[in-house]
Amino acid sequence: MHDTLRTNTTGATSPAPTTMRAAVCVGPGGPDMLEIRDLPVPSIRPGWSLIRVRGAGLNRSELRTRQGHSPDVAFPRVLGIECVGSVAASTDPALPEGTTVAAVMGEMGREFDGGYAQYALLPNALLMPITTTLPWDVLAALPETYLTAQGALDAAGVTSGTAGRLLIRGGTSSVGLAALSIAAAYGVEIATTTRRPDRIDTLRTAGANHVLIDSPTLADDLRAVWPEGPDRILDLVGAATAVDSLRLVRRGGTVCVAGSLSGWTLRDFEPIAMIPSGTRLTAFHSNDFRGAAGAGVLQRIVHQVESGSYHPIIDRVVHLDQIAAAHRCMEDNAAVGKIVLLP
């Protein structure tokens, strides 16, 4: 994917715009704190390049930042921990103008402005060049979600040809659906949970062998499917369920926590009392796949989507004027799959 340089009738390149539209979080609070503003297009500086943002996936971490749960974030701030687009002005010879790139994490949308804008000034070290034929909305649904899912499955020991049983908790989250897509392509036997019976068919269609309601009877329901318990659990709910997942996994199995749907902090955690002997508790953070560390992984994911092996689920595509409504959708847990912004 490459942008076509705009030219005038004499063949000269048109000047780049000097202003852009952006969704600015003006302070901590509800979705109404996201205001659409005209801002100057950032000027490049050494080590940073200007990206024409073509798409950005929405993430719950941005919701929490907007709510005021990221104390180090100063407002006003353009949120967005990821984006895809093309290099508009480069300071890196390895990333010429027009190169399709993705970027995730690295304090995007927190320490400096992120993907909720038509342009973003990003550190060269964050930029991952991508070769693809995917449309922008599909490409934008992949970086944070699929890199997190891939890294979490790797951390849990789930690989192609892996024998055994995998339980995904929080299966209808965007990362849960991505992990389900990858693990199904691996041929793993998968159970997944949801709190909503109306989403059972979606999960089965996405590749789950068993769908369970995450309720007080989950342990009994899981034993009815797998009497010895799952070999691995990918816990995307997080703090509220991590200890329970340690009880559900078979002794000697692995629990990987890679989500924070229920928050970030595990209170009153006693490792010796709460981790059964021989059982592994691990985690994955998508910041580990930022920049060069994730570029090859993301390119492989893109190829798998292009070949039809992975099937990303996009709940809806929105534009900047709809960003507040999209945040309400996230806050209400109404989305099934990824919400994608096309600014």
Q: In the predicted model, what is the mean pLDDT of residues 58-64?
A: 94
Q: What are the residues facing 19 on neighbouring strands?
A: 40
Residue 4 confidence (pLDDT) above 50:
no
Three-state DSSP class for residue 24: strand
Alpha helices in the chain (DSSP H): 60-67, 136-140, 143-156, 174-186, 200-206, 218-225, 242-248, 271-274, 292-307, 323-331
Residue 111 confidence (pLDDT) above 60:
yes
Residue 243 confidence (pLDDT) above 50:
yes
Place of tokens 């629990």: 255
Q: What is the pLDDT of residue 16?
A: 66
Residue 1 confidence (pLDDT) above 70:
no
Residues with Cβ within 8 Å of residue 261, at least 6 apart in sequence:
60, 170, 173, 236, 237, 238
Q: Report the relative pairing of strands 232-235 and 165-169 from DSSP bridges.
A: parallel
Q: What percent of the chain has pLDDT over 90?
A: 80
Q: What is the DSSP letter of 15?
A: P
Q: pTM for this one?
A: 0.90
Rounded to whole angstroms, the Cα distance separating 150 from 142 reads 11
Residue 256 confidence (pLDDT) above 60:
yes
Q: In the predicted model, what is the mean pLDDT of residues 235-239?
A: 85
Q: How confident is the model at residue 266 (pLDDT cuts 50, 70, 90)?
A: low
CB 309 within 8 A of CB 139: no
Q: What are the residues facing 280 on neighbouring strands?
A: 254
Rounded to whole angstroms, the Cα distance separating 241 from 260 reads 10
Q: In the predicted model, what is the mean pLDDT of residues 274-279?
A: 82
pLDDT tens profile 63-84: 999 999 998 999 999 999 999 9
For residue 41, what is the enclosing H or E element? none
Rounded to whole angstroms, the Cα distance separating 252 from 231 reads 8
Place of tokens 């005038």: 8
Q: How confident is the model at residue 7 (pLDDT cuts 50, 70, 90)?
A: very low
Q: What is the pLDDT of residue 15?
A: 59
Peptide bond into 15 cis (omega under 30): no
Phi, psi of 19 (to 5 degrees): -130, 160
pLDDT tens profile 285-338: 888 999 999 999 999 999 999 999 999 999 999 999 999 999 999 999 899 999
Neighbours of 93 (CB within 10 A): 6
* Measured torsion, CA atoms of residues 300, 199, 320, 115, in degrees rounded to the nearest 10: -30
